[in-house]
Amino acid sequence: MKTFEVIDISGDVGIRAFGKNIEEAFTNAAIGMYSLITNIEGIRESRKIIIETQSDSLEGLLVSYLSELIFQFDAYGFIGKGIDINIFRLEPSPFLKATVRGEEFNPEKHERKLLIKAATYHKVRIEKVSDIWEIDVIFDI
């Protein structure tokens, strides 16, 4: 099973992520997003951050989670590679806690691809298809 694929959207970019469970799909959405920013193969897992967020829906939780990862990159230069994630409840207000391992982005060491401004609610989709969770998320660039 592939972990994610890039969705070409006019003027923006998106990720379709896959997972055997909702946590794996959320993880693969973040890895897909990071791969739009740089080649994550060159990222060392030398530092870790903890992300906690809550929302009134799974879609809101996804956008909040990815937005926090974008903030960590924009504000502190942190780019992740390894992610351990737990979603503690799906209804009525899902809560997520993630440990993200990575390092500070260094333009001399890391290739710069896209500048992601935001994760959006536009066409966001979280759905279980057969035994696989699928996530579609669009990013403003």
**pLDDT per residue as tens digits for the range 46-93:** 999 999 999 999 999 999 999 999 999 999 999 999 999 999 877 788
Q: How confident is the model at residue 11 (pLDDT cuts 50, 70, 90)?
A: confident
- pLDDT value, residue 42: 92
3.60.20.10, 3.40.50.720, 1.10.275.10, 3.55.10.10: CATH of 4-140: 3.55.10.10
Per-residue pLDDT tens for 16-44?
A: 999 999 999 999 999 999 999 999 999 99
CA 85 to chain centroid, in Å, comes to 11
Domain residues of the chain, as ranges?
4-140
Q: State the distance between the two ends of the chain, measured CA to CA, in whole angstroms.
A: 28
Instruction: State whether residue 127 is helix, strand or coil.
Output: strand
Enter the pTM of the model. 0.95
Q: How confident is the model at residue 101 (pLDDT cuts 50, 70, 90)?
A: very high
pLDDT the model gives residue 9: 81
